[in-house]
A and B are shown apart, each in its own frame.
Chain A
Amino acid sequence: MNPRAAVLLVLGTALLLAPVAAPPFWVTLLNYIGLYSIVSLGLVLLTGVAGQTSFGQAAFVGLGAYTTAYLSLNHPAISPWVNLPIGVALTSVVALFLGFITLRMKGHYLPLATIAWGISLYYIFGNLEFLGGHTGLAGIPALSFFGIEMRSERHFYYLIWTIVLASLWATRNLLDSRPGRAVRALKGALEMAEAFGVDAGRLKIVIFVYAALLACISGWLYAHLQRFVNPTPFGPIQGIEYLFMAVVGGAGSVWGAVVGATVITLLKQVLQDWLPRLLGRDGNFEVVVFGILMILLLQRTRDGVWPWLARAVPQRKPLPVSKATTLPKRSRGNEGVLLVVERARKQFGGLVAVSDLSFELYRGEILGLIGPNGAGKSTMFNLISGALPLTSGTIAFEGRSTGNRQPFQIARLGICRTFQHVKLIPAMSVLDNVALGAYLRGSSGVTRAALRLDRREEAMTLAEAAIQIERVGLNEHLHAAVGSLSLGKQRIVEIARALAADPCLLLLDEPAAGLRYLEKQELAALLRSLREEGMTILLVEHDMDFVMGLTDRLVVMDFGEMLAQGLPGEIQKNPVVLEAYLGGV
């Protein structure tokens, strides 16, 4: 048996036998750890992975708990099991609304906004007469399961931990899928994700609702376990504490949620038991010591406890990727004009970065966009990819205007890009980074991914990614974390990612920067072979040898204006261009 399986077997057995072997007090504690784990799991996804900090999860726990409490007490005919979907539906509606208004906020606005509505919901619970005000609702019936009333903590234990494991399974599946890769890009690489067709605004709301629903389920369990609810456990402090658990456990991994919930719950318990005995007096010292220990812990290990524990558990080897079946390719026309830029203009305040530029791009050609530093090349690039809106003028791709489309909508048309400053997800493998490029060629959503119904499509996506990685010559780095590669190789990964999108038009922003001579030659050969296949390429580049040997035509920009356009040979002799580059001859 391999060591990993052994560790899992021991943990699994312990989990299964705990309620039989452990004293009731510990079973209670484990139940609470389970309830907290479910909520912090949502935060791992929302905050740890996607970077959207929320302090308001406790309020969603409250929604789940109060819904079932109110319905059980006022409509006893309805089974508590039916209250769960009702609570889920209610929470979805509330979360959709709150997500819609708060997730548009960026940076530090978001956590503060979540505190604000967290507090609002808390006071609403406490001030509504029909919810029992600050005293709460008592006498909630126990759950029954096929006629057995789950009155004991032991019964409940199995229910809670089944749900914990199920949500861990679903969340892990989700992270390891098409939407999962996009979620991982939301933190720090939003612009890149949108360039590959991810509707980031929508995706944020979806995972926000996902996290809220986990919280709601935890609340439903809590209400029937305690059989009493009042507003206190759904207040701002508890909301903060859930975030605490996720961060302390290790917000980058689903296991961090369980580890965090365990560490914090046990620590509090131990402190509460031992401190009065140690100090010989009662008081609130456990909070003091708890806070100090948390600060020390974070000073020792910023990424939480899990990465540190994970070293002790042997990791699974990555599975080999089968390249048998891959995604269908799009058909490209091979004649005529692909992209028309007409009097494109971009102003930043008084600065005209691109001034009424017009040019055309023909199918199957490599067009070089060159010019001295500050000429407006990258701005032009961002106008085509939609990263920046046009001030005036039009850009039409296959006859359709791209003017008022978002970057992710432009990506859907078949335009794909690399970035001047590499935008990859450093902790993710080369394979996953490249697979993100194929986002628009798949269709699995969060639900399918969480339930693992996406495996056929996922296998094809990974096969496509592996083929592109092989094509650019990075096969040996397939499973390496992208952050561990040299900058030159990272640029090549960006190209592979763009190829995985199977674009009609490839926009390359200084792809040769940071490459060595041989690597540049390989890159040029690759781009030529892409042209053979009918791909159209727009290239911004400073390396003149590279550009002259590769491109079919050149557009030269200076101070936002068109200086010249023509064949590479003509441009090299053009006196105006020479003057712009060399300052007069």
Chain B
Amino acid sequence: MTQTSKSKTRSVAAIGEPPSKPAARTFLFMTFSIAALLAQDGVTNGAIYALLALALVLVFTVTRVIFIPSGEFVTYGTLTLAALQLGKPPGTVGLLAGLALIAGTMECYTAARQRDWRRFPRRLALYLVLPLAIAVVVYAVAPLSLAFPIQILLTLVIVTALGPLLYRVAYQPLAEASVLVLLIVSVAAHFSLLGLGLWFFGAEGSRTPPFTDATFHVGDITVSGQSVLVLLSSLILIGALYLFFERTLYGKALRATAINRVGARLVGISPSLAGSLTFVLAALLGAFSGVLIGPITTIYYDSGFLISLKGFVGAIIGGLSSYPLAAAGSVLVGLLESFSSFWASAFKEVIVFTLIIPVLLWRSLTTHHHEEEE
């Protein structure tokens, strides 16, 4: 509102830009092949929103944090990969090292104050040594011209490692605060990460090369290999998460925490462990989405907010608690977005964000809630 808010102005302006997608605006009439193209577009984007929706549901249920910075994990994913493509060490390496040092200091301080050094070595290894090691390795190997899959792997590792550190530094000291305070912390973290994103990657957008140039023809319809790959990898990741939650002890511990925090604590599940683990998964999902969306859309340092908001919309449709519904909701958002960009491009966002209100209304009228716990 004032001249004091340059950054904000810039970030909102970018939200308004239409993403460059092959939406066929020049055609006036919907034909079957256009519809198929739009549907393909919608489902592809929807799959990415679904990953974000899952991350948001997960974080909210386990930690009560509404994870606004998830969008930054997406942009960091794409832009880290783009930097590695150019053979430059990405700025996220510095952030990783910095956060690790802060988290390490915090661990020292906590241990010294509580005079409890038993778990200290393990925590220091997790919060300080491991991230620093990752940072050093990536910094060292970045200039070598690495193979594309290795670049992707490094990207996922760096960005994922940021998640638990963010939790340790920003959220863990406030773990018992109200949802509103946690939300405000999320917004503050979003601002900081956004500003850092501009510093690390500059104001220009980046697009990463497609994973494949292959196309398939099914009758009249052209299906791009890229879309198939996005869909497949999203499905694989969702499947892996399912197995994690159903079959592993850590997964079950997280589910228990999500259902009843106090109860989980009483049976010995540490809330800070659950929080960190959740943020590992959320960061991984964000980074993965970033890698997937990179070849589809040009990503700017501030594109994440709107992308994650659409993930939110998907998650809300799922009621912030059901994973399959959240995924279905996200695909719906993707479809809605791609079809409305055909008919009323300027009002695309209006349509996407307004149409969720009836959905929300329906959900809040049909689901039973307990009074808020504040």
Contacts and interface: CB of A to CB of B under 8 A. Distances in A.
B13, B188, B350, most chain A CB atoms within 10 A: B188
Given A106-B369, A237-B12, A295-B185, A112 B357 contact: no
A117 B354 contact: yes
Contacts, number: 187
Given A102-B357, A291-B191, A302 B199 contact: no
B11 A237 contact: yes
Contacts of B353: 115-117, 119-120, 123
A265 B4 contact: yes
Interface string A165-203: 000000000000000000000011011000000000000
Interface in A12-45: 28-29, 32, 35-36
A292 B102 CA distance: 12
Contact of B184 (A101, A105, A247, A285): A247
A362 interface: no
B20 interface: no
Nearest to B301: A284
Nearest to A32: B2
B198 interface: yes
A248 B188 CA distance: 11
Contact of B196 (A117, A272, A288): A288
Given A108-B60, A120-B350, A188-B372, A287 B365 contact: no
A248, A284, A285, most chain B CB atoms within 10 A: A284
Contacts of B15: 235-236
Interface stretch (B138-146, B230-238, B278-286, B312-320): B312-320
A237 B16 CA distance: 13
A111 interface: yes
B179 to A, nearest CB: 7
Interface string A104-145: 111111011101110110111011000000100000000000
A104 B364 contact: yes
Contacts of A237: 8, 11-12, 305
Contact of A112 (B181, B316, B350): B316
A283 interface: yes
A236 B7 CA distance: 14
Contacts of A294: 184-185, 188, 191
B188 A191 contact: no
B190 interface: yes
Contacts of B188: 244, 290-292, 294-295, 298
A124 B357 CA distance: 16
Contacts of B185: 294-295, 298
B11 to A, nearest CB: 6
A247 B5 contact: no
A569 B61 CA distance: 53
28 contacts: A35-B1, A101-B361, A102-B361, A105-B363, A105-B364, A106-B364, A107-B369, A108-B320, A109-B316, A112-B66, A113-B357, A116-B357, A116-B360, A123-B350, A124-B347, A124-B350, A187-B374, A190-B371, A236-B12, A247-B181, A283-B195, A283-B199, A286-B195, A287-B194, A288-B195, A290-B191, A291-B191, A294-B191
B360 A291 contact: no
Nearest to A235: B12
B34 interface: no
A565 interface: no
Given A286-B7, A291-B191, A298-B174, A117 B357 contact: yes
B170 interface: yes
B357 A295 contact: no
A116 B351 CA distance: 10
A104, A106, A124, most chain B CB atoms within 10 A: A106
A7 B347 CA distance: 52
Interface string B1-36: 110111111011101100000000000000000000
B372 A291 contact: no
A47 interface: yes
B346 interface: yes
Interface in B173-197: 173-174, 177-181, 183-185, 187-196
Given A116-B357, A222-B1, A298-B185, A291 B180 contact: no
B356 interface: yes
Contacts of A122: 12
Interface of B: 1-2, 4-9, 11-13, 15-16, 60, 66, 170, 173-174, 177-181, 183-185, 187-196, 198-199, 305, 309, 312-313, 316, 320, 346-347, 349-350, 353-354, 356-357, 360-361, 363-365, 369, 371-372, 374
A9 to B, nearest CB: 30
Contact of B187 (A32, A105, A240): A240
A338 interface: no
Interface string A235-251: 11110110110011001
Nearest to B360: A113
A331 interface: no
B182 to A, nearest CB: 9
Given A36-B1, A124-B347, 18 more contacts: A32-B2, A32-B4, A53-B183, A104-B365, A105-B360, A108-B320, A120-B350, A187-B374, A188-B372, A222-B1, A240-B187, A251-B180, A272-B4, A287-B192, A292-B192, A294-B191, A298-B185, A302-B177
B325 to A, nearest CB: 14
A268 interface: yes
B4 A269 contact: yes
Given A247-B181, A292-B192, A298-B184, A102 B372 contact: no
A40 to B, nearest CB: 12
A560 interface: no
Closest 7 CB pairs of A and B: A291-B192, A287-B195, A288-B195, A291-B191, A233-B1, A294-B188, A105-B364
Contacts of B347: 123-124, 127
Contacts of A247: 180-181, 184
A109 B360 CA distance: 7
A302 B346 contact: no
A185 to B, nearest CB: 12
Given A113-B357, A188-B372, A265 B189 contact: no
Given A287-B194, A288-B196, A268 B372 contact: no
B198 A284 contact: yes
A288 B192 CA distance: 4
A232 interface: yes
A337 to B, nearest CB: 34
A299 interface: yes
B191 A287 contact: yes
A449 B312 CA distance: 39
A108, A233, A290, most chain B CB atoms within 10 A: A108
Contacts of A117: 353-354, 357
Given A117-B354, A295-B185, A32 B374 contact: no
Contacts of A112: 66, 312, 316, 360
A51 interface: yes
Contacts of A101: 357, 361
Interface in A200-241: 222, 231-233, 235-238, 240-241
Contacts of A111: 66, 183
B321 to A, nearest CB: 10
Given A285-B199, A292-B192, A298-B184, A119 B349 contact: yes
A292 B4 CA distance: 18
A577 B12 CA distance: 71
A288 B372 CA distance: 32
B363 to A, nearest CB: 7
Contacts of A113: 316, 356-357, 360
A233 B194 CA distance: 18
A116 B353 CA distance: 5
Nearest to A241: B8
B19 to A, nearest CB: 14
A272 B8 CA distance: 13
A132 B140 CA distance: 52
Contacts of B187: 240, 243-244
